[in-house]
Structure formats: C-alpha cells, structure tokens
Amino acid sequence: MSARVNGVGGSDEFDGADEVGRAVEVLRGGGLVAFPTETVYGLGADASQAEAVRRIYAVKQRPADHPLIVHLAGSPQLDDWAIDVPDDARRLAELCWPGPLTLLLRRHLAVDATPAGGRDTIGLRVPAHPLALELLDRFGGGIAAPSANRFGRVSPTTAEHVRADLGDLVDVVLDGGPCPIGIESTIVDCTTMPFALLRPGAIPVEAIETHLGVEIAAATGSSRAPGMLTSHYAPAAEVRLAEDSAAAIAVAAVEQDAGARVELIDPGDDLLAYARGLYAWLRAADEHRADVVVAVLPPPQGLGLAIRDRLRKAAAPR
C-alpha cells in the first residue's frame, strides 16, 4: 500500500515517508485527510474540533444539518461517544466491528454536536481496513468522515476518484488502492425498539437478523433520513434501470435509436463484483461522456438490496 500526500507541504509525494504519521498531524492541526475504508473512501477530520468538521461540510458542499459518521479505532471507545447503549447494539458492535456496520446511538453529552449535524444521536463505526485502522489507532480520537465525494455525487472507491472530486481541498490523501467492498456501510438505528434499518449496505440486513438474532424494522417515513434523499449517488449521465439483461438491451436500443450514447451495467450474478465495481462504472460512464447508463438491477436480497438502493437513487429525478 502506498500513500500520497498533497497540499499543505507543497511536495506531492513523500517516498518512504511516514504518511500515516503526517496524516495524524494534519488531523490534529484541524486539516482534512481522505482515507480508504473497506466500503468507500472517507473525508476525515478530528470529530472533536468543530471548526475542522465544518471544513468537511464546506468542501463537500453538504448541508450543515446532514450528520456524519464518526469512525473509531475499536469498540472500547463506544462509551466515549454514546450513552444508553442497548445490549443488542453492543453485541452488534462486538460481532461486526471492525466492519461495514454503522450504529446510530444517543450522543454522549460531552461530544460536540457538529459532526452529528446538531442531532442528539451519533453514527459510529470501526472500519475494517488496515490503513484506516492504523490512522485511527495512531490518532487516538474519533474521525468524522462522510464519503469523500461532493454532496449528491457518486462515492469514491479509489484515491484517484477522491483527487478527481476534491483535488487540493484535501490536505492528505492516503492511498490504499481500490476499496474491497465498494458500497457504504449498513446503518442501523439503535435508538428505537426494534432497531431500524436506515440505509441498506455492505452487511446484509438478513445477516444481522438471522445470524445475530437482532430484529431490524424498516425505517419509517419520518426516520432520520440518512442518505435518504431521493436523488443521490448520481453520475452526470441519466441512469435507467432494468430488471434483467433482455430488458436492459431493449431500453438501450431505444435510447441509441434516439441518438444517445449508452453504457450498460450488467455484471451478472456476482454481487460482490457488482458492489465493488458499481461506483467506478458510473464514473467511467461520465468519463466516456455517455448520455445514458442502463443498469440491470440485482435481486433484492443480501448485498443486492444495497446495490438496488444506490441504483434507485442514481436513477431518481434530480
């Protein structure tokens, strides 16, 4: 794994330097560090510095009431950030962390409200990526980090995606190669009984219910609406959805007849490969100046549920 450092220091690359050490210094100084996780790249700031967290909102052009996930080095830190943690939430943390599960809990009174977008809850997760864990370990505190893309756009799954979106607005980009999962964490609201699924993601909700024995309800309409804006994760190209390959080819043919440049996303039955590739394919379609992307929806089980959610948001009216 190599790391690249931009911005602040002037020089572009520090061969053999301690890039993680430098990233820790940047965080302590109130700067922004993009780092890989197993899901997507995050745009991180010290969660305890309101001014640093406000920089994230500014760089992403994200509304200030849209809360961020705070990343931790391990589950022992849970109680520094949350109160009234239900036993089942603790079990989920023990079983799934490090991993792509975000738990929504009641915010500890000592925790600054800025990363939580002013809410009395806080989203917490321990990412399963060696570079992220090294950064968190050495930093010691919580790192507030949304996906490192501009608000509403496709999440980055490589360091190149981050640089293309945010360029010099980020002080350090740690490069851990392509993200192994490629789709964001599952978010479970643990402040309601039963718990509620706020965002389907990399850990299938069925796995949480069956293997971990914790009941999860669908989020209600009045839910706290994380990533639940209708249009999100969208490329510049228009996205059209199809239930199977034959339907996708038919849609593509109609679009092509109308003179559109069309790209097809039809990766077959391997849901892991679909998740890992999805955001890169959507970005590639924009690079190729496609007018329309036609994507075949995977079945709505397991990882398929999260992929369908992202595709629907990419296809939603803007």
Choose the stretch contacting ligand TXA; rule: CB under 6 A; options: 82-90, 119-127, 211-219, 268-276.
Answer: 119-127
Please report whether residue 121 would count as binding ligand TXA according to CB under 6 A. yes
**Smallest gap from residue 7 Cβ to ligand TXA (A):** 20
The DSSP code sequence of the chain is ---EE-STTS-S--TTS-HHHHHHHHHHTT--EEE--SSS-EEEEETT-HHHHHHHHHHHT--TTS--EEE-SSGGGHHHHEES--HHHHHHHHHH-SSSEEEEEEEPTTS-STTTTT-SEEEEE----HHHHHHHHHH-S-EE--BSS-TTSPPP-SHHHHHHHHGGGSSEE----S-SS-SPPEEEETTSSSEEEEE--SS-HHHHHHTT---EEEPPTTS--TT-SSS-S--SSEEEEESSHHHHHHHHHHHHHTT--EEEE--TT-HHHHHHHHHHHHHHHHHTT-SEEEEEPPPSSTHHHHHHHHHHHHHS--
**Smallest gap from residue 22 Cβ to Mg ion (A):** 25
Please report whether residue 119 would count as binding ligand TXA according to CB under 6 A. yes
**Smallest gap from residue 315 Cβ to ligand TXA (A):** 18
Residues that bind Mg ion (CB under 5 A): 147
Determine which residue in the list 85, 92, 135, 145 makes contact with ligand TXA, applying CB under 6 A: 145
Please report whether residue 37 would count as binding ligand TXA according to CB under 6 A. yes
Contact track, ligand TXA, 50-89, x by CB under 6 A: ----------------xxxx--------------------
Please report whether residue 307 would count as binding ligand TXA according to CB under 6 A. no
Contacts with ligand TXA, residue ranges (CB under 6 A): 37, 39-40, 42, 66-69, 100, 102, 104, 116, 119, 121-123, 127, 145-147, 184-185, 187, 224, 226-227
